[in-house]
Amino acid sequence: MGRKVVAARFGALAAGLLVAAVALPDGARAGTGTPARAAVLTDAQVAALSPDAQAVRLGPLRAVANAVGAAGRGVAADVYGNLAIDAGQSVVTVYLTDTGQAARVSAAARAVDPTIDTSLIRFQKAAATHAALDTAAQRVVALADAGKLPMHVDLVGPAADASGLQLDVDDPAAAPAAFGPSTTNLAASLGVPIVYRQGRSLQAKAWANTKWDDSSPFIGGDALTAGGTGHGCTAGLPAIRKSDKHPIMVTAAHCFGVGTKIYTHAGTPGDYANGLKGDYVGTVTARVQEWDAETVDGANNNADESDTTGWMRLTSFAYSYNGDYVCHDGQRSYFMGHPTPCDIKVTDQDMYCGPSTGCPGLSYTARGVWGDAVDNGWGAAGGDSGATMFAVEPGGVRQARGLLSDGTPGDGTPGVFWTEATDIFNYYGLTLNPQT
Per-residue pLDDT tens for 198-216? 987 666 654 333 478 999 9
The model's pTM: 0.81
Question: What is the per-residue DSSP string for 61-120?
Answer: HHHHHHHHHHHHHTTTTTTEEEEEEETTTTEEEEEES-GGGHHHHHHHHHHH-TT--GGG
**Residue 355: predicted pLDDT:** 87
Per-residue pLDDT tens for 143-202? 988 888 888 898 999 999 999 999 999 899 999 888 876 555 777 788 899 999 998 766
3-state SS class at 179 = coil
**Residue 29: predicted pLDDT:** 35
Confidence bin at 27 (pLDDT 50/70/90): very low
Summarize the confidence of residues 39-68 as an average pLDDT: 87
**Residue 201: predicted pLDDT:** 63
Per-residue pLDDT tens for 374-422? 989 999 999 999 999 999 998 888 999 999 999 888 999 999 999 999 9
Q: Label the pairing between strands 165-169 and 194-198.
A: parallel
3-state SS class at 385 = coil
Write the CA distances from 232 to 46, 115, 256, 260, 402, integer angstroms: 35, 43, 9, 13, 18
Confidence bin at 23 (pLDDT 50/70/90): very low
How distant is the alpha carbon of residue 424 from its chain centre?
12
